[in-house]
Copies of this chain bind each other. A is one copy, B any other.
Amino acid sequence: MKKREVQASVKDERLVKKRRDQMIKGAVTLFIQKGFHRTTTREIAKAAGFSIGTLYEYIRTKEDVLYLVCDSIYDQVSERLQKDLDTNRGTIESLRMGIADYFRVVDEMQDEVLVMYQEVKSLSKDALPYVLKKEIEMVEMFEQIITGCVENKELDLPEAQIKMIAHNIFVQGQMWAFRRWSLKKLYSIEDYINLQTELLFQGIKSPVYNESNV
């Protein structure tokens, strides 16, 4: 699926990219503070450093800004993930690393992830699929790593479990952002990584079962 085109009146591609980057940066800050709906286009223009007129030279509607923001955040997150995941394919270690890396990316981009997470639903039916596609791709990245482990016989998991685990990992990453008001009181990001990884690999340890193993 190709990117959704956001129309600009200005022709100079380089300029379009530059202006949009300014715009995204300003908008993220504002969306974090007050949400998409409570942020005005004027505020976005001001935060971006240009006039309302100029803003509309690079987008068609306010919603375009939201799309651009979401798109940009996903791009950044998945770009960083991609890099990490290209190494050590098929080993349990690569899965551990993948999870840790993903959680750390989320930690670093907390605000952005939160925004994207809370405002996607404000995208029109038109733009939504493009953003959802990105999310699916990220889940698939985890799926591939896990599948690699299974193919390498490092893990033994049925298809249904693979997908479930991929979803869980993805959501647990987001969870670090959107439940931070609660989680940060309990864990550091490294604690969080360790605990979630441990639970993932070992499940809940029942002393009864353990005893019977002896």
Which of A's residues lie within 8 Å of B, judged by CB? 35, 37, 92, 118, 121-122, 132, 136, 139, 153-157, 160-161, 163-165, 167-168, 171-172, 175, 179, 181-183, 186-187, 191-192, 195-196, 198-208, 210, 213
Kindly list chain B residues whose C-beta atoms are within 8 Å of the C-beta of A191: 160
> Closest B-chain residue to A210, C-beta based?
B156
* A122-B35 in contact given A160-B191, A195-B161 (Cβ < 8 Å): yes
Kindly list chain B residues whose C-beta atoms are within 8 Å of the C-beta of A136: 182
A213 to chain B: closest CB distance in Å?
7
Q: How many copies are assembled?
A: 4
* A92-B206 in contact given A160-B187, A167-B183, A172-B168 (Cβ < 8 Å): yes
A7 to B121 CA separation, bound complex (whole angstroms): 30
A192 to B161 CA separation, bound complex (whole angstroms): 10
State whether A167 touches B155 (Cβ < 8 A): no
Kindly list chain B residues whose C-beta atoms are within 8 Å of the C-beta of A153: 207-208
* A164-B118 in contact given A171-B172, A207-B155 (Cβ < 8 Å): no
Task: Summarize A's interface: helix, strand, loop or mixed.
Answer: helix
State whether A168 touches B207 (Cβ < 8 A): no
Kindly list chain B residues whose C-beta atoms are within 8 Å of the C-beta of A122: 35, 37
Kindly list chain B residues whose C-beta atoms are within 8 Å of the C-beta of A35: 121-122
Q: List 22 A-B contacts (CB under 8 A).
A: A35-B121, A37-B122, A118-B118, A132-B181, A139-B182, A153-B208, A154-B208, A156-B206, A156-B207, A157-B205, A160-B186, A160-B195, A161-B198, A163-B186, A164-B186, A164-B196, A164-B199, A167-B183, A168-B196, A201-B203, A203-B203, A213-B213
A28 to B156 CA separation, bound complex (whole angstroms): 43
